[in-house]
Amino acid sequence: MKRFAAVLGIGLLAVGLLALRPEPVAAAAAVGQPAPDFSLPDVKGGKHALSSYKGKFVVLEWVNYDCPFVKKHYGSGNMPKLQKAYTGKGVTWLSINSSAPGKQGHFAAAEIESRAKGHSAAFSAYLLDTDGSVGRVYGAKTTPHMYIVDPAGKLVYAGGIDDKPSSDAADIATAKNFVSAALDEALAGKPVSVATSTPYGCSVKY
């Protein structure tokens, strides 16, 4: 009886330890590696899985309309211009908001749509990463923080939108835009010459 109790106790301990094991964590994003798949809702209630866009170039743009750096690129028309130019070339542009409820940049769907319209935004979809899980897997640190995924599903660029880390719209005219340069090279079948850069902007409000 004592032996049975001992065996039972070991079994229960093993079950308990298994229950305490953490859930598997998605692999972190890394340039040159497959981009981690995800599925997120958009502001209209639809769902978007990154894997469903395989065969296309995809831009991931972390966004927060209350961030001065985001205002720089939207207020000047720079971000909408990029969105229109590249979605016109068949690129899918996914704007992602990882702001947690109660944090800066977290808005109701109607407010997002109103602001997007006011900014003349031309993204393919605006996605809600309310729990921040996708942002954390991608290592999104700032708004904006930009990523490019190629048609094979590989991450080919991660970093800032350009090389002028300021909130002054006047700097856009003399900035080297890393996103457009990377997209132009990738669309032409060339390797991306600057595949990583330092992102700048407001911190993502996880």
Q: What are the residue boundaries of the structural domains of the chain, listed by start?
A: 26-203
DSSP secondary structure string for all residues of 81-124:
HHHHHHHTTT-EEEEEE-PPTTSTT---HHHHHHHHHHTT---S
pLDDT at 27: 64
pLDDT at 11: 43
pLDDT at 28: 81
Low-confidence ranges of the chain (pLDDT < 70): 1-27
CATH classification number, 26-203, choose in 3.40.30.10, 3.30.70.100, 3.30.70.360, 3.40.50.1370: 3.40.30.10
Single pTM value for the model: 0.87
What mean pLDDT, rounded, does the chain reach?
90
- 100-122: b (≥16 Cβ within 10 Å) or e: eeeeebbbeeeebeebbeebebb
The count of other CB atoms within 10 Å of the CB of residue 41 is 15
pLDDT at 19: 37
pLDDT at 23: 37
Secondary structure element (H or E) that encloses residue 187, with its range: helix 178-187
